[in-house]
Structure 1
């Protein structure tokens, strides 16, 4: 007889939580280093460029040394604590899917409103004609600054439940539920409610949510056709609100390609072109507007070379605004089931010009990228696999957002 041996499986299972905790702490440390590097880079830009300063950096910590306590400074920490406490309870896992979407939406509204409500009633010179028309319509419809802020926040926060719908379709309900705290407490919420950019982000989320749902295997024939047409129509509307939304067409294409839906590719493309064609017939040509905006940006950079700082600042700011979850998400990109949702935003981050072309205020079109850059943080390689809710990661990002709000 031999002595009983200890199972290696037991040892591995015992070490797994420690290993996961070590990975989480490493990701948080990497993100904090990136945060410090971004603030340092911004300090150098402020001291060496006349067009980079507190007026163009609303998140800049040193722009106001006096502390004015506002209601948001109290509501934001309480909201973060409530979301994290609720997500850590077993009842959160038993919550119905529709209830989760509603609760996530309401919590996102509270978080966004607490962080920032100073909505700009104007658009930049580089905005699309559709964005100018949309903000003018909202201003006339709401009739007051408070009404405009509430409307923009309510529309912008639709990006949270729409992103959850897309992740559930692509990576399963477990990954979507685990992602909810990260989306609700995203640091990018401080920028999402500054104007039309947050609404454009919600439109981009609607494109991928619709495309993901209608391309599922159970959706066939007429439902698949009209669903793809709806996704294409939403893509056209999103492009009319933001030139950067065109990059989400790459994600939609990859999503259809991965699910072997060639017909839906053609239908969505035709629907998107039809929307842009109708806009052109009404006197708003999207391609000509894009060319004019590009030429204007080049001219602005030639007149103010200090704008080149935004080429380095904006990608760094995107990563900072995503929170620590972006580190794990980018590491899992190659093996995650959520890669079709990430490919378009990643290309936009690496290729699209992200520099602000207005010396007075930078562009915030990159807000639409943030939710999609972190979706792989909980989307594993197998659907239905157990996933730990990244509470520590969500808490770190929320704390950083609150600290920047207090110091800004």
Structure 2
């Protein structure tokens, strides 16, 4: 008769959280190293180029070595502490889904507003015609700088709940709940509310949220058809606001392909083309605008070779803006169920410097990529597996954003 064997299950379960904590601390260390390298590279670019400087890096730490205490410097740390405290409570896991979306949206508004509210009503020469019309409409509708800032923040922060909806659809509610504090406290929030780029980010989030929901197995028949048409129409609107939004078509295509919805691919494409064709009838030709912008960017590089610095700076700045969660997300990319949401933004990030989008403020047009580059941080192949909320990762990213705000 053999002696009873010792069970190692409890011991393994006890070690798992510790290993996750060690892994996330390692990710934070890697991200901090990349941030230091980015700041060093940007310092060299500022010293050696006349096209990289405070005008294109307005967040640059300690530009004038003066500290002006604002309300945001008090509200931002309090907001971050409140979000982390709520997310750490067991009651957060029992919160209804709709309540989570509403609270995430309100917390995102508070966080973004505290970090930055200086909305620039002007648009660059390389902005789309739709972006210029949209910002002009907002300026005339709001009537004041404060009203414009409130409107832009309110629209831009829709990115957070819309991203959560898409993540819930592809990776399950557990992964979406765990990701919520990381999304709310993302360092990119300091840039999303500076102009039309935040609104374009919200439009891109609406595209993938709509595409994810209408391609679920339970959606069939006319609902699936009109849902796909709506996702394509939203993609056309997003493309009219930003040339970079066109890359989200790759994510939408992969999402429908992974879920075996070939007809929805065709319907969504038809919806996108219908919106662009309608805009062209009013004199807003998106393809011609893209070609003109690309040619202008090539001419800018030929006239100012220092623009080539953005080949290295652009991806590095996006990684910094994403926060430490991007390290874990990229590591899980291949095994994560959220890969269709990431593929389009990843491709855009790799060739972003060559797109010719907004050479005067190159990093702003690609803030729409940041929320989607971290969605795999809490998503894996098992939708039912419990996920530990990455509070340390969220807190580290929030602290970095606050430090930049205090020193910038």
TM-score (norm 2): 0.98
Does structure 2 retain, via aligned residues, the 8 Å contact 1:105–1:158? yes
* Other-structure match for 1:212: 212
Distance 1:323 1:145 in 2: 30
Report SS of the residue matched to 2:217: coil
* Other-structure match for 2:16: 16
Shift of 1:239: 0.3
Q: Does 2:335 match 1:335?
A: yes
Q: CA separation of 1:128/1:315 partners in 2, compared to 1, >3 Å: closer, same or farther? A: same
> Bigger CA drift: 232-241 or 4-13?
4-13
| Equivalent residues in 2 for 1:104-253, closer than 5 Å | 104-253=104-253
Does structure 1 retain, via aligned residues, the 8 Å contact 2:115–2:189? yes
Distance 1:297 1:377 in 2: 34
Does structure 1 retain, via aligned residues, the 8 Å contact 2:293–2:356? no
Q: CA separation of 1:26/1:402 partners in 2, compared to 1, >3 Å: closer, same or farther? A: same
Distance 1:292 1:303 in 2: 16
Distance 2:79 2:363 in 1: 28
Does structure 2 retain, via aligned residues, the 8 Å contact 1:355–1:363? no
Distance 1:70 1:40 in 2: 28
Report SS of the residue matched to 1:161: helix
- Residues 311-342 of structure 1 show CA distances to partners (whole Å, capped at 9, x for unaligned) of 11110000010000000000000000000000
Shift of 1:257: 0.5
Shift of 1:355: 7.4
Does structure 1 retain, via aligned residues, the 8 Å contact 2:322–2:373? yes
Report SS of the residue matched to 2:227: helix
Distance 2:217 2:109 in 1: 33
Report SS of the residue matched to 2:62: helix
* Other-structure match for 1:365: 365
Report SS of the residue matched to 1:335: coil
Q: Does 2:81 match 1:81?
A: yes
Shift of 1:2: 5.0
Does structure 2 retain, via aligned residues, the 8 Å contact 1:200–1:368? yes
Distance 2:83 2:358 in 1: 37
Distance 1:266 1:17 in 2: 44
Q: Does 2:264 match 1:274?
A: no
Does structure 1 retain, via aligned residues, the 8 Å contact 2:127–2:358? no
Q: CA separation of 1:180/1:272 partners in 2, compared to 1, >3 Å: closer, same or farther? A: same
Q: CA separation of 1:255/1:243 partners in 2, compared to 1, >3 Å: closer, same or farther? A: same
Does structure 2 retain, via aligned residues, the 8 Å contact 1:357–1:363? no
Does structure 1 retain, via aligned residues, the 8 Å contact 2:243–2:357? no
Does structure 1 retain, via aligned residues, the 8 Å contact 2:119–2:145? yes
Distance 1:364 1:222 in 2: 38
Q: How many residues align?
A: 408
Unaligned stretches of 5+ residues in structure 2 = none
TM-score (norm 1): 0.98
Shift of 1:4: 4.2
Report SS of the residue matched to 2:353: coil
Distance 2:274 2:57 in 1: 38
Shift of 1:33: 0.2
Distance 2:134 2:365 in 1: 15
* Other-structure match for 1:344: 344
Distance 2:287 2:15 in 1: 55
Shift of 1:362: 3.3
Q: CA RMSD in A?
A: 1.2
Shift of 1:353: 2.8
Shift of 1:143: 0.6
Unaligned stretches of 5+ residues in structure 1 = none
> Bigger CA drift: 340-349 or 304-313?
304-313
